[in-house]
Structure 1
């Protein structure tokens, strides 16, 4: 199951009961907004212990519609690449440091 923003806020509320829910919501919104703004400016975002976000340019190409076999032109576009940190990789794979 994926965690959604409301679940993240509930978890933070359990860990930090002195914070108001609206303040936690605003903090999460600010962090997400700043990540988006940085990526929009083609800057990388590094969250230590979690991973890095970088933009990537996907070249224009001609692909096939799998249903009809018809050729489809796909324009150039920007995508986001995420790479997990070594710490997160080790935690996910139960490796000790």
Structure 2
């Protein structure tokens, strides 16, 4: 059975900050945007981002490599690039699995 998923968007995060912290909606929006912008800026500077108890955003350099065009079979070179990886913390994984198992038990 497929897990039903909802998507939390930035507006939802702003609402949660507004409700839980007591900021005005404008202050909550600012807080969320500042945090997201700082994560983006750090990654743009080539820095990894680690949020203890949540996750790490890591940049990995991938070297050029040879591959084949799947349509033609022709050999091609894939250029070197930087990829972004997301590694959830143990706490986040445990919380996710706990939530998933609770949902399975109720069905």
Which TM bucket (shorter chain)?
A: 0.7 to 0.9
Instruction: Give the Å deviation of 1:31.
Output: 0.8
- Please identify, of 6-15 and 80-89, the stretch whose mean Cα deviation from structure 2 is larger: 6-15
Q: Number of residues paired by the alignment?
A: 93
Structure 2: how far apart are the matches of 1:67 and 1:31? 43
1:55 Cα deviation from its structure 2 partner: 0.7
Q: Partner of 1:8 in structure 2?
A: 13
| TM-score normalized by the length of structure 1 | 0.78
Aligned match of 1:83: 87
* Pair 70,24 (structure 1): closer, same or farther in 2 beyond 3 Å: farther
Paired with 1:82 and 1:13, the residues of 2 have a C-alpha distance of: 27
Match runs of 1:1-97 below 5 Å: 1-16=6-21, 18-94=22-98
Q: Distance in 1 between matches of 2:13 and 2:83?
A: 25
Q: Is the 8 A contact 2:15 2:28 kept in 1?
A: no
Change (3 A) 1:68 1:6: farther
Q: Where do 5+ consecutive residues of structure 1 fail to align? A: none
The secondary structure found in structure 1 opposite 2:47 is coil
Under a length normalisation based on structure 2, what TM-score does the superposition of the two structures give?
0.72
